[in-house]
Amino acid sequence: MKARTVALASGGAAALPLVALLVLATLAGTVGLGGGSPSSQATQDIPPDYLSLYQAAADTCLGLPWPVLAAIGKVETNHGRLRAPGVTEGANFAGAAGPMQMGIGVGAAGDAFWRFAIDGNADGNASPYDPADAIPSAAAYLCKALRDHGGDLAGAIFAYNHAQWYVAKVLQIAQSYGTGEATPLAAARAVAFAYAQLGTPYQWGGDGENGTFDCSGLTMAAWAAAGVTLPHNSAAQYASAGLHIPDRSQLLPGDLVYFAHNVADPATIHHVGIYIGGGQMIEAPHRGAVVRIDSILRRPGYIGATRPNG
């Protein structure tokens, strides 16, 4: 079955800028980076027309690096080169279609394409099979997901495809595609690692090697997954782990948040978690508990935050 195309009204093309404005309003203080210049890996692997579409679409959304959008296109259909049902016509087994494999309302994948459809080439129709439409439509979906997840890039990728392996693979490819400022991608990888540890038992001294974590062992391992080395001690992390963030309103996903017995004395820091947006953190809380998501407001003694690799 061939999916329909949508003829857009004259105001239809404004949908993506509207989503971008909503993200701008919601994520004040978030650094929206284009991901730097394409790496040699990117220029060799991504068709030139796709590369320009990825870059242009990501530029409309604060907080969405173009290498992430490109990596999704790579994982989904190898930038439209995959020969499989639903790539150039019809739909796959789940009802997804086109180079970005968005749902077209004929199966479990839902109707995401039609809800976020962008007429990227202004030809009067939005088609899931046309990369000029599919790529900006995928960016619009991810932009909304970023807003819904408090700026958490890993959470937005998870919303696109509900699998932790998918998040990790997209972020790994994205890092190979981009050059220049890589901190947002590294932070997303650290957050994705932390999400994958939810439910892991707490044990003092645990760093994941034996299937357990303590608080600083979790944050150390999460940032190690992003290529950043941290000490296995919460106070030492506060002293050495990058840029200090004095204002809670400036927190970004991946930042480390610290708690002390005496908020005037960093030497009394006893706990650390990894911020994931929306006032929440992932933490290994205490003996008898497991790695979990909790509000940073629920734990007393908040003393500050750092941004590794900042």
Measured between alpha carbons, how far is 8 from 30 in angstroms, rounded to an integer?
32
Quick one: DSSP state of residue 266?
A: G
> What is the chain's percent helix, strand, coil content, to nearest 5?
40, 15, 45
Measured between alpha carbons, how far is 273 from 250 in angstroms, rounded to an integer?
16
Which residue in this structure is represented by tokens 């150390």? 220
b/e code 127-148 from CB counts within 10 Å (16+ = b): bbbbbbbbbbbbbbbbbbbbbe
pLDDT tens track for 226-242: 889 999 999 999 999 88
Give the model's confidence band at 183: pLDDT under 50 very low, under 70 low, under 90 confident, else very high: low
pTM over 0.75: no
Which residue did the predictor score with more confidence, 46 or 36? 46
Domains 6-181 and 198-307 fall in the same CATH topology: no
Percent of the chain with pLDDT over 90: 64
Quick check: 172 and 200 in contact, CB under 8 A? no
Average pLDDT rounded to a whole number, residues 80-98: 96
Average pLDDT rounded to a whole number, residues 57-68: 88
Structure tokens at 39: 């790496």
Name the class of domain 198-307.
alpha beta
Give the pLDDT of residue 87: 97
Poorest-pLDDT segment among 82-91, 149-158, 255-264: 149-158
Measured between alpha carbons, how far is 290 from 106 in angstroms, rounded to an integer?
39
Phi/psi of residue 78, nearest 5 degrees: 55, 50
Give the pLDDT of residue 26: 29
Give the model's confidence band at 136: pLDDT under 50 very low, under 70 low, under 90 confident, else very high: very high
Q: What is the CATH number of domain 6-181?
A: 1.10.530
Give the pLDDT of residue 167: 87
Give the model's confidence band at 20: pLDDT under 50 very low, under 70 low, under 90 confident, else very high: very low
Least Cα distance to 99 among 125, 121, 130 occurs for 130
Q: Is the pLDDT of residue 12 over 60?
A: no
Poorest-pLDDT segment among 56-65, 213-222, 262-271: 56-65
Quick check: 155 and 277 in contact, CB under 8 A? yes
Beta strands in the chain (DSSP E): 6-7, 96-97, 102-103, 125-126, 243-245, 256-260, 269-277, 280-283, 292-295, 302-307
Domain coordinates in residue numbering, the chain: 6-181, 198-307
b/e code 161-184 from CB counts within 10 Å (16+ = b): beebebbbbbbebbbebbbeebbb
Give the pLDDT of residue 35: 56
